Structure 1
Amino acid sequence: MDLLTHAALGACLGEIMLSKKLGKRALLWGAVAQNLPDIDVVAALWLHPSENLLVHRGGTHSFLFAFIAAAVLALVAGRWHKKRQIPWSTFFMFFVVQLFIHDLLDTCNAYGTGLLEPFSQERFSFHLLYVADPLFTLWPCLGLLALLFLKIDKSYRTRWALIGLVPAGLYLLYAVSNKSQVKSQIEASLAKQQLPYTEVLLTPNPFTTWLWYAVAFSENGYYVGHRSVFAPEETQTNFTFFPRKEELLTSATNPAEVQELKRFADGFYTVERWNDTLVFNVLRYGQMLGWQSPQGRFTFHYFLNPPGVDNKLVMQRGRLKGWNQETLQYMFRTIFMVPEKTPRVTTEK
């Protein structure tokens, strides 16, 4: 999730767990702890882009790091607030909860979180929320704003903290329900069209859990489609086939880089050429305006050849590329199944 969401959630948790002992300082400690795992972003300053992809949301997002960091933070906070005589164990549990929630919340996105590192390299991705979802972030932010401006002795501060947390949790359950519904409908469409597949990946499109992006894994490529939660059950999903083109990787100049990208892609990738540039696409992160342009390029596209092409912003550069008012209107119509208006034809007498 984004920094703002983590900070707001951490502050609301801080109010509930520690405000009686620390007052509004609990909000700050919560916001700081919630964002601590994302300190791994600094690694981008010196790591190769393909290496950084696996470092981000890796070690600093593990359960082991959460325990170690919580112990250190508890020592720092205990000394900082020594006069308040708060037990180390109280601070420790507070920070463990904050860090665990950060890590588990990140598993709801598509990126993948290394919860078990360094003991296992497995990444966990439940594909429930886009990295920034306004309907999820709204509630923690409302709670945080109220907590910042309400006086500390107001009895209803806890209510505002719960307003920041409970609706967000319910929205997460709503996302689970939406995904389950859409997945069954996607699989039904694949079966009806007799399209062979072994696995279906489903992830929300930007900023919503009402429009989902689906990728069906087949032997030589992938069937990609989009579906709204409001689409009638009998509505058939249209799919576009993208071949994997594994053979193009023989011309890649850095085999180690390719292996890192394959691990990051977790089996969902295609290779293609854009003029003289060899491109590695990771399909797990969506398609640029795919609900509007079924043949559109994929959000994550990494340039393999020629060497020296800039990949530093590989996770960001395709997310909002091409967005405009028309795109938003088309997305709205796709979600709510509004038929596109056709121009009125007039004949002259």
Structure 2
Amino acid sequence: MDTGTHVVMGLALGGIATIDPVVTATPATAQAVILGTLIGSQAPDLDTILKLRNNAHYIRNHRGITHSLPAVLLWPLLITCTLLFFFPNANLFHLWIWTFIGVILHVFVDIFNAYGTQALRPFSNKWVALGVINTFDPFIFLIHLLGIIIWKVGAHPGITFFTIYAILLLYYIIRFRMRNNVEKAIRAKIKNVTEVIISPTYRFNQWHIAVVTDEFFYVARAKNDEIIIHEKFAKRPIPDTPVIKAAIKDKNLSAFLSFSPVYRWEVDEYDDYYEVRFIDLRYRSKGHYPFVAVVQLDLDLKIINSYTGWIFSEEKLRKKLELIPS
């Protein structure tokens, strides 16, 4: 989920923690637990700092080791030990358990996005992505915000947030059913489907869809129970050519390929360089495919420039590749 949603979830969990009599027994424990749930609900996303290094490193590692099983155990210990330095009289066990719940909640809700997490590491590096909730879901954010407001004006936090989470359980069930109906509709419309990748949008009744068949890739959208096919591409294996072999060694393209499950590729030859472009088919927006990897090589197949990430115009891409002065 996005940072804002993780914040309101952490605050909601802090409200629920106040029904624990040990938490409310002393001010130090209460303050430490509320901070623990808030920090714990954010901690796994500390890897966002990898963006400062480069997009390739971020794409390879975001929601990876920081969301893994060992991290889920280590984050609460680290946060608890840090908070005990500031609140030495806080109850150790109850601070740890509520912080632990905050970390688990963060990783758990991220699994429902299309991006997913490597939550099963070290047993598996597979990305677990259920694709039923958008990274930012307005309903989930607003219902948490409403609960916090109701709590702050005097309502019982336990009753308030348990009611909200009962509503959210029903909401998740509805979203699963909607996603399954979209997949059924796609398989009925397109023959010989081998894989369907469905990505929710922030709009309740709209979904991005990438479909793989034996011979083609389809890019589609579901809107109000209607399947709209935007484009169809021939499914071509990556060729075993010197240009492609040299390009794949690039860190940006390599990171793209480690993350993207469905893409098309292009190779263009110009007067003094080659350009290899890989385009992720999952995120079509207004006729544009924003997630790409581009590698430029000279005629001796030495890499000149490269880029991977989300880019929303060809002009901005060219600036990233330094072909147009910024």
- TM-score by length of structure 1 reads 0.74
305 and 130 in structure 1: CA distance in 2 versus 1, 3 angstrom threshold? farther
In structure 1, distance between residues paired with 2:268 and 2:248: 20
In structure 2, distance between residues paired with 1:34 and 1:201: 28
274 and 175 in structure 1: CA distance in 2 versus 1, 3 angstrom threshold? farther
Does the alignment pair 1:129 with 2:133?
yes
Does the alignment pair 1:49 with 2:55?
yes
175 and 275 in structure 1: CA distance in 2 versus 1, 3 angstrom threshold? farther
Does the alignment pair 1:61 with 2:67?
yes
> How far is 1:138 from its partner?
1.0
- C-alpha RMSD of the superposition: 2.8
The answer to whether the 8 A contact 1:62-1:117 is kept is yes
Instruction: Select the residue among 255, 258, 264 that pairs with 2:259.
Output: 264
| Structure 1, unpaired ranges of 5+ | 290-295, 320-349
25 and 72 in structure 1: CA distance in 2 versus 1, 3 angstrom threshold? closer
In structure 2, distance between residues paired with 1:247 and 1:78: 54
Partner of 1:298: 289
The answer to whether the 8 A contact 2:69-2:122 is kept is no
Does the alignment pair 1:29 with 2:36?
yes
User: Quick check: 130-139 or 253-262, which moved more?
Assistant: 253-262
> How far is 1:18 from its partner?
4.3
Partner of 2:6: 6
More strand by share: 2
198 and 169 in structure 1: CA distance in 2 versus 1, 3 angstrom threshold? same
63 and 139 in structure 1: CA distance in 2 versus 1, 3 angstrom threshold? same
Instruction: Select the residue among 92, 104, 107 that pairs with 2:96.
Output: 92
Secondary structure at 2:193 match in 1? coil
Structure 2 residue identity aligned to 1:308: N
In structure 2, distance between residues paired with 1:318 and 1:5: 25
Partner of 2:47: 40
In structure 1, distance between residues paired with 2:237 and 2:98: 48
Secondary structure at 1:200 match in 2? strand
Structure 2 residue identity aligned to 1:208: R
> How far is 1:179 from its partner?
0.4
> How far is 1:101 from its partner?
1.4
209 and 248 in structure 1: CA distance in 2 versus 1, 3 angstrom threshold? farther
Partner of 1:110: 114
Structure 2 residue identity aligned to 1:185: A
Secondary structure at 1:83 match in 2? coil
275 and 318 in structure 1: CA distance in 2 versus 1, 3 angstrom threshold? farther
> How far is 1:34 from its partner?
0.6
Where do 1:1-349 residues align within 5 Å?
A: 1-18=1-18, 20-21=23-24, 22-23=29-30, 26-46=33-53, 48-84=54-90, 86=91, 88-147=92-151, 149-150=152-153, 154=154, 156-162=156-162, 164-190=164-190, 195-204=191-200, 206-231=201-226, 237-238=228-229, 240-247=231-238, 250=241, 251-252=243-244, 253-256=246-249, 257=251, 258-266=253-261, 268-272=262-266, 277-284=275-282, 286-289=283-286, 296-305=287-296, 307-311=304-308, 314-315=309-310, 317-318=311-312
For each residue in 1:238-272, what CA deviation from the matched residue of structure 2 results, as whole angstroms up to 9, or x when unmatched?
A: 46312344446842443233443222113x11113
64 and 70 in structure 1: CA distance in 2 versus 1, 3 angstrom threshold? same
For each residue in 1:24-56, what CA deviation from the matched residue of structure 2 results, as whole angstroms up to 9, or x when unmatched?
A: 66444322211111100112222x422321111
- The number of aligned residues is 293
198 and 104 in structure 1: CA distance in 2 versus 1, 3 angstrom threshold? same
The answer to whether the 8 A contact 1:11-1:26 is kept is no
Secondary structure at 2:96 match in 1? helix
In structure 1, distance between residues paired with 2:41 and 2:240: 40
- TM-score by length of structure 2 reads 0.79
In structure 2, distance between residues paired with 1:242 and 1:300: 17
Partner of 1:334: none
27 and 141 in structure 1: CA distance in 2 versus 1, 3 angstrom threshold? farther
Structure 1 residue identity aligned to 2:256: L
For each residue in 1:260-304, what CA deviation from the matched residue of structure 2 results, as whole angstroms up to 9, or x when unmatched?
A: 3222113x11113589643211223x2112xxxxxx232312222
The answer to whether the 8 A contact 2:64-2:119 is kept is yes
In structure 1, distance between residues paired with 2:285 and 2:230: 15
> How far is 1:74 from its partner?
2.2
The answer to whether the 8 A contact 2:68-2:121 is kept is yes
Secondary structure at 2:220 match in 1? strand
User: Quick check: 160-169 or 119-128, which moved more?
Assistant: 160-169
Taking only the aligned residue pairs, the percentage that are identical comes to: 20
> How far is 1:237 from its partner?
4.7
Partner of 1:331: none
